[in-house]
Amino acid sequence: WLKLLFRFHPACARRRPPRSSDRTSGLSASPPSSHAKRGRRPQQGAMESAMTSFAHLVNPWQLSVLGWLCCVVLEQITLHTLDATVHWLCTFVKKLPSRQGPKPVYERPIEWLDKLYLNCNSLVENAFVQILTYHLSHSSNVDRGWAALGLLNGPVALWLLLIFNDMLYAPAHRALHHPLLYRWIHKHHHRVAFPKRGQVDARNEHPVEQIMAMSLWYIAAQLVSKLTGIHAVVMVIHFAITTLLALFNHTGADLQLSVCGIDWAVRAHEMHHRKPDKNFGQFVMWFDKLMGTYVPYSSHSD
User: CA 148, CA 14: separation in Å to the nearest integer?
Assistant: 37
Confidence category of residue 94, pLDDT binned at 50, 70, 90: very high
Q: For the chain, report the end-to-end CA distance as a whole number of angstroms.
A: 50
Closest CA to 119 of 227, 214, 203, 183: 203
Query: Helix crossing, 112-138 with 65-90: angle to 10°?
Result: 110
Tell me if 300 is assigned to some domain: no
142 by DSSP, 3-state: which? strand
Query: In sequence order, what are the beta bridge partners of 95?
Result: 253
Residue 189 identity (one-letter amino acid):
H
Tell me if 149 is assigned to some domain: yes
pLDDT digits (tens, 9 = 90+) for 5-63: 555 555 555 555 555 544 444 444 455 555 455 555 666 777 777 777 888 888 999 99
Tell me if 173 is assigned to some domain: yes
What percentage of the chain reaches a pLDDT higher than 90? Answer: 71
Taking 80 as the threshold, does the pLDDT of residue 95 lie above it? Answer: yes
CB 281 within 8 A of CB 288: yes
- Residue 106 has a pLDDT of 84
Taking 60 as the threshold, does the pLDDT of residue 4 lie above it? Answer: no
Quote the domain boundaries for residue 242.
65-291
- Residue 56 has a pLDDT of 83
What percentage of the chain reaches a pLDDT higher than 70? Answer: 84
- Residue 229 has a pLDDT of 94
User: CA 8, CA 37: separation in Å to the nearest integer?
Assistant: 17
**φ/ψ (deg, to 5) at 177:** -90, 5
Residues 6+ apart with CB under 8 A from 290: none
User: CA 161, CA 163: separation in Å to the nearest integer?
Assistant: 5
Average pLDDT of the residues of the chain: 87
Tell me if 193 is assigned to some domain: yes
Taking 50 as the threshold, does the pLDDT of residue 113 lie above it? Answer: yes
pLDDT digits (tens, 9 = 90+) for 147-183: 999 999 999 999 999 999 999 999 999 999 999 899 9
Tell me if 248 is assigned to some domain: yes
250-254-260 Cα angle (round to 5): 95
Q: Give the lowest-confidence range in 95-109, 117-131, 256-270, 273-287.
A: 95-109
Tell me if 255 is assigned to some domain: yes
Tell me if 18 is assigned to some domain: no
Confidence category of residue 236, pLDDT binned at 50, 70, 90: very high
- Residue 20 has a pLDDT of 52
User: CA 268, CA 284: separation in Å to the nearest integer?
Assistant: 9
User: CA 290, CA 135: separation in Å to the nearest integer?
Assistant: 33
Residues 6+ apart with CB under 8 A from 83: 198, 199, 247
CB 118 within 8 A of CB 203: yes
Number of domains in the chain: 1
Closest CA to 196 of 115, 298, 264, 98: 98
Tell me if 38 is assigned to some domain: no
